[in-house]
């Protein structure tokens, strides 16, 4: 099913019959991807008096309580409220949900004990994409890209991250929505600097209120680099971040 879209006053066609979901599902317990020593997801039946919200335990219907933290449990999207002193809600910042996204694949460079996605790597990906629609979103897939990313325990492992200069270049390129398959754009332990977050959002000088960062996506190898229609879906939490479901569609 090919449909027509107008994004930023430009016309596009996308095949909506073949969605490419790049989110990581959440499960109860230790089966999930996890980062920053945040507790595992808890999904358990609601109980009140004689009522239990589990049909297989005698209840009339299934009613689960769910406890999680979006920043460490699975795919999530965050706004500048993640680093601001003032409360800022993602639900108020993200008011459009369809974008043209460029998918690129890079192998983080070794820098001392770190693995870093650099500015030069991102620049090369864009220079190779002439003739394609101008994206307002960028998806970074890192190598190696095994399915272990779906359940990996990142806490205390110093995972790869995005260089501050790369984040600055991405901002200057006009990218509004940055997605990547790492637990954070910043180094796991950086003394609270969060340099890439600050550079991307241009906080606190001329803050980009409508820009977002989505972390811990998973893009299978079969999905080729290039431009896609991105549908970035979130839950309507009044919070700095929300679990999210980014879905790609091939452009025609």
Q: What is the pLDDT of residues 59-109, one digit of tens each?
A: 999 999 999 999 999 999 999 999 999 999 999 999 999 999 999 999 999
Interatomic CA distance for residues 114 and 159, integer angstroms? 8
pLDDT < 70: residue spans in the chain: 128-133
- Please, what is the angle between helix 164-172 and helix 119-127, to 10°? 30
Alpha helices in 94-226 (DSSP H): 119-127, 164-172, 195-201
Say how far apart CA 248 and CA 219 lie, in whole Å. Answer: 10
Which helix (H) or strand (E) segment holds residue 92: the answer is helix 90-93
- The strand pairing partners of 231, in sequence order, are 98, 247
Instruction: Return the CATH fold of 2-25+70-250.
Output: Glucose Oxidase; domain 1 (3.50.30)
Predicted local distance difference test score (pLDDT) of residue 131: 54
pLDDT at 1: 75
pTM of the model: 0.95
Q: What pLDDT score was predicted for residue 176?
A: 98
Collect all residues with Cβ–Cβ distance below 8 Å to 64 and sequence separation of at least 6.
Answer: 43, 44, 45, 46, 53
Model pLDDT, residue 231? 98
């Amino acid at each position: 099913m090919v449909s027509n879209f107008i994004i930023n006053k430009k016309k596009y066609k996308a095949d909506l019959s073949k969605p490419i979901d790049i989110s990581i599902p959440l499960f109860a317990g230790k089966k999930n991807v996890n980062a920053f020593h945040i507790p595992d997801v808890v999904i358990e039946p609601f109980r009140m008096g004689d009522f239990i919200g589990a049909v297989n335990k005698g209840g009339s219907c299934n009613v689960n309580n769910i406890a999680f933290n979006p920043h460490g449990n699975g795919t999530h999207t965050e706004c500048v409220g993640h680093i601001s002193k003032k409360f800022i809600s993602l639900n108020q910042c993200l008011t459009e949900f369809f974008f043209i996204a460029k998918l690129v694949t890079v192998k983080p460079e070794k820098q001392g004990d770190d693995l870093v996605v650099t500015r030069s790597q991102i620049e090369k990906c864009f220079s190779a994409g002439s003739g394609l629609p101008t994206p307002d979103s960028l998806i970074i897939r890192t190598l190696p890209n095994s399915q272990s990313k779906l359940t990996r325990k990142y806490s205390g492992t110093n995972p790869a991250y995005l260089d501050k200069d790369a984040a600055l270049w991405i901002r200057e390129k006009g990218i509004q929505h940055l997605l990547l398959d790492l637990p954070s754009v910043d180094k796991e332990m950086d003394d609270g600097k969060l340099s890439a977050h600050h550079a991307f959002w241009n906080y606190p000088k001329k803050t980009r209120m409508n820009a977002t960062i989505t972390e811990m996506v998973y893009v299978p190898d079969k999905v080729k680099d290039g431009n896609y229609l991105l549908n970035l879906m979130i839950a309507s939490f009044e919070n700095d971040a929300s679990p999210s479901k980014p879905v790609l569609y091939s452009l025609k």
